Chain A
Amino acid sequence: MIEEPYRWVEAIANRAEYIETQLAAGSPIAAVGYRDGILFVTLGRGRQKVFEIYDRIAMGAIGHPGDIERLRMAAIELASAEGFTRSAADVSLRRLAHYSLSPVLKTAFEQVYGAPYLARILFAEIGAKQESDLFLRLEYDGAIATNSANFEQTRQDFGAISGTRQSTELMEKFLQAEHSAGATFERAMKIALDAWTVGHLALGDGGVKELPARDKILSERKDRLRTAGVEAAVLERDDKIALRYRGLSATEIRSALGD
């Protein structure tokens, strides 16, 4: 069926469409850099979506739990083996994503007889200074997008993933406008939750296409918080401790939100 090149292109296109459909319902995840670290926030009903990978690296993922689990395990194994044979300082998210994970995802995606990974991952690595924080989005086909400055965007202190491209772009637009790097923890928590809400509103066929008004975001956020729990974790910017990842308790999240 796919001996001919155009058939292969067709098969790949079908497969991309299939994966996009599978991911489309994924609850957004926002990660924002603030004064004292990086904060991951998402809403969900049960299944954990934000994970520690290594001393300074964390990830949030949407997709099929089995595929997320395989990628998470691979990332932890790679980072741990590297940190053990060399040192924790030699473990880098850039290398992990570019040299190890991306090629695997690309190959799995393009070998049309095998199963692709149904996953979209947002990684973050805390730097010594805020300027060196790295946010990295890894797609099911191995594509990588980072927060670093390039010809079409300035450096960003945040990262976002969502079920659809439209939703992700809207979250980024919102964060670009509202988030500032010097934010306090409380401010970062509110902004990240609002970004989640924007992403959530943009999901689905009837999703919003433009940034919703402030009061719409607020009322939607309130509604969602009634039915789903907030999951949040931080990477702390404290070079006195080796392990920077910390899952936040419900109490910490509530007090940051001021209720």
Chain B
Amino acid sequence: MDSIGLALDQNPSGASDDFPALLRRRGLLPAVPAQTGMAPTADPAWIPTQATTILAFKFQGGVLVAGDRRATSGHTVVYDRADKVLEIDRHSIMAIAGVPATAWEMARVLEHSFQFFRRTQLQEMSVDGKVRALSKLLRDNFGFVLQGVGIVVPIFATYDSGADPSARLYFYDAMGAQFEVADYAATGSGSPAVRGILYYENNWGKKPLVKLTEDEAVTVALRALDTAAESDTATGGVDRNAKIFPVIKIVSRGGITTLPEKRIGALFKRTVA
């Protein structure tokens, strides 16, 4: 373990550094290499990719977040059990499209940031603070994005147990702008198809998304991911032979539940396959 200097950090403002600042001070965050002055899109071979499909929508029981499990590199499938729906704390989920190395590191920084805040400041970080923390990480990462590596476009779902308890759902762009959504969000290469389905279901389906029961919500999510996989090579959808199902998690007042594969499998068999 590191040794600390004799003069421990003074904390005159009463608020400590946030966790990324601590990492930076200790040289634990990668610094973005200096810009070469080249226009980022000068290399025509470089196309920004977010090869995956992530979706999230509000339903009766909170927010459902689902992601396929395929990881690709160019046209190659490198992994078929990737987990892109990550638990950050007891009530928050970050689901990622983009470069896994950056995204997982970002999730790790975020997870530690929330805990670091709670431990040092002796209070839970507010939902707005959490949403902003992710935004800041994306902003800090944008130098890498401009250089053609490390793009991450996440969705953030959490439960606000403040004055007006409710599930909250946000999507981000690669620069860190956050958008709160009322109904649903989707990101990744397969998202256009998913967005179409969710829009249709929400407006002309049997009932709006927010009124769906848990089983109905999971069915919609599975069908949407299967549709995305139908045309998008980078989306795994449901692997019927190997029985690999999407990761589905639900954020509600009581915390996060991960749906067991068995249950997803049974629902898939009954309502999708």
Contact = CB atoms under 8 A, between A and B. Distances in A.
Given A73-B16, A84-B28, A100 B4 contact: yes
Contacts of A210: none
B22 interface: yes
A80 B22 contact: yes
Interface stretch (A101-109, A151-159, A161-169, A195-203): A101-109
Nearest to A245: B119
Contacts of B118: 52
Contact of A100 (B3, B28, B112): B3
B42 interface: no
Given A53-B119, A81-B22, A70 B11 contact: yes
A234 to B, nearest CB: 16
Interface in B156-183: none
A12 interface: no
B270 interface: no
Interface size class of B (residues with CB under 8 A): 20 to 34
B26 A76 contact: no
A74 B115 contact: no
Given A70-B8, A104-B6, A48 B28 contact: no
Contact of B115 (A92, A96, A103, A243): A243
B211 interface: no
Nearest to A117: B8
Interface residues of A, number: 30
B140 to A, nearest CB: 16
Contact of B2 (A51, A69, A100): A100
Given A53-B119, A77-B22, A243-B115, A84 B108 contact: yes
Contacts of B112: 80, 83-84
A36 interface: no
A108 B22 contact: no
B206 to A, nearest CB: 38
A16 interface: no
Interface of A: 48, 51-54, 69-71, 73-74, 76-78, 80-85, 92, 95-96, 99-101, 103-104, 107-108, 243
CB-based closest 7 A-B pairs = A95-B1, A70-B8, A74-B8, A84-B112, A76-B119, A80-B116, A99-B1
15 contacts: A51-B119, A70-B9, A70-B11, A73-B8, A73-B16, A74-B4, A77-B22, A78-B1, A78-B2, A80-B116, A84-B23, A84-B109, A96-B1, A100-B3, A104-B8
Interface of B: 1-4, 6, 8-11, 16, 19, 22-23, 26, 28, 108-109, 112, 115-116, 118-120, 122
